[in-house]
Amino acid sequence: MTGMPLSVIDCETTGLGRYDRIIELAIVTLDSNSGEVIEEFETLVNPERDVGSVQLHGITAEMSVLAPTFAEIAPVVVARLHESTVVAHNLRFDVRMLQQEFQRLGRLVQWGSGLCTLRLTGLKLGHAVRELGFELNDHHRALSDARAAAAILRSLDEWEISDPCKVEGVARREACRTLRRDAFGTPIDRPLRRWIRSACIPSSDEACVEYFELLDHTLADLTLSEDEHHELEECRLRVGLQPRQVKSMHMAYFESLRTAAVADGVVTPLERTLLESVARSLGIDASEIPAVLERLPPTSLDLATGTRVCFTGSAIDEDGQEIAREALERLAASRGLQPVSSVTKKRCNLLVAADRASQSGKARKAREYEIPVVSVEEFLRMIGVAKEA
């Protein structure tokens, strides 16, 4: 399969359900050998219905009504996808939305295995590109997100090209009318969007990562519609999460947003209202929420926001009770740290072990890569949870 191109895709959509439509699409085609960009395709798409959450994607009805329909761009799209490996950050979502569009047109697509940079990194898109040295300023713009996913893939060395996408009835290379959003200006960057970009996924578990990525998508307008609740429930069942796990994850997610909100030392009345709205959407009772104006304790050592922390081994607290890894990951995320599942040279900054002298595989690898190893007790002191004896 040497030489097979990589098609890095990103879709902005009216929503998450089976009746929702694509409103912006980008495809960045990469040479699989060199990683260089061969070509880029980007356009707004007329969804032939309401545009959904403008707060999330920034695309208004006025913008979309001038754009081509998916039927108009379909020949160009299939020509780029055919005989390529499809890549996306949350591949399952983008492929599902494209599949729905092709089904409406009666087109059969065999997607192949594809590559998901969300699964490969375990990090949100903004956090994953930040470690490459740049900010994702135009998040939820299709071309910006596709370029970011392409940059992430090029930085990784732990993936293999899989079987290609195949589309029936591919015609010769065609051109089509496109409409880019550049002429429409830049949408206002609302506080909640900034927090969501900054918030860490409070778990390294693959199922939790996928659920949280979907949750990020749904909360841009502060509420969860009936369709969005349905999509989240379908995701929960698909990835095998229990209701009690989801409740705990919702609280951890809220805490991560709260950390982002108080990072500048000020929570305005508007920001407090936003946080309370998010809490209601997540089904969190007000009595369970710590005061949103309360500052989180500062770390005693320099653990910068976004520091990637891996946990290994079983930890015991001062009462002799085991501390679950999931609880430690949620605690780390509440302090603005990003839990990761494995120790790699590029994507782990700190290993927390039950004992600093641990000889686990992760601990040996951390020492080989000169990644600091601390005990759980030391870590809790570092983030201001435990005091010096």
Residues 115-165: pLDDT tens digits? 999 999 888 888 888 888 877 777 778 999 999 999 999 988 777 777 899
Answer whether residue 89 is part of any domain: yes
The b/e string for 233-245 (b: 16+ C-beta within 10 A; e otherwise) is eebbeebebeeeb
Main-chain dihedrals φ then ψ at residue 307, nearest 5 degrees: -55, 130
- Of the three residues 288, 319, 346, the one that is the final residue of a domain is 288
Residue for token digits 């590559």? 115
- Is residue 87 a contact partner of residue 117, using CB atoms and an 8 Å limit? yes
The last residue of one of the domains, among 184, 202, 232, is 184
41 and 152 in a single domain? The answer is yes
Task: Let me know if residue 369 belongs to a domain.
Answer: yes
Return d(Cα 198, Cα 335) in angstroms, integer.
12
pTM across the whole model:
0.72
The number of folded domains in the chain is 3
Write the CB contacts of 33 (distance below 8 Å, at least 6 apart in sequence): 2, 3
pLDDT digits (tens, 9 = 90+) for 11-64: 999 988 888 999 999 999 999 888 899 999 999 999 998 888 777 788 888 888
Question: Quick one: 56 and 163 in the same domain?
Answer: yes
In this structure, are 180 and 46 located in the same domain? yes
**Residue-range definition of the domain harbouring residue 372:** 308-382
The tens-digit pLDDT sequence of the chain (389 residues) is: 346 899 999 999 998 888 899 999 999 999 988 889 999 999 999 999 888 877 778 888 888 888 899 999 999 999 999 999 999 999 999 999 999 999 999 989 999 999 999 999 888 888 888 888 877 777 778 999 999 999 999 988 777 777 899 987 776 556 788 888 875 655 545 666 667 777 778 888 888 888 888 887 777 666 777 878 888 999 899 889 999 889 888 888 888 777 777 766 666 776 777 788 888 888 887 665 555 444 444 444 457 878 899 998 777 665 667 788 888 998 888 888 999 988 988 889 999 988 777 778 888 899 888 899 888 888 888 887 765 54
244, part of any domain: yes
Residue 296 is assigned to a structural domain of this protein: no
Domain termination site, one of 168, 184, 200: 184
Q: What is the side-by-side order of every strand in the sheet holding 308-312?
A: 338-340, 308-312, 350-353, 373-375
Answer yes or no: do 179 and 267 share one domain.
no
Tokens standing for 332?
A: 């780390």
Q: Do 324 and 374 fall into the same domain?
A: yes
Kindly state whether residues 58 and 142 are assigned to the same domain: yes
Which of 180, 142, 144, 177 is closest to 64 using CA atoms? Answer: 180
Q: Which residues of 258-291 are buried (b: 16+ CB within 10 A; e: fewer)?
A: bbbbbeeeebeeebeebbeebbebbebeeeebee
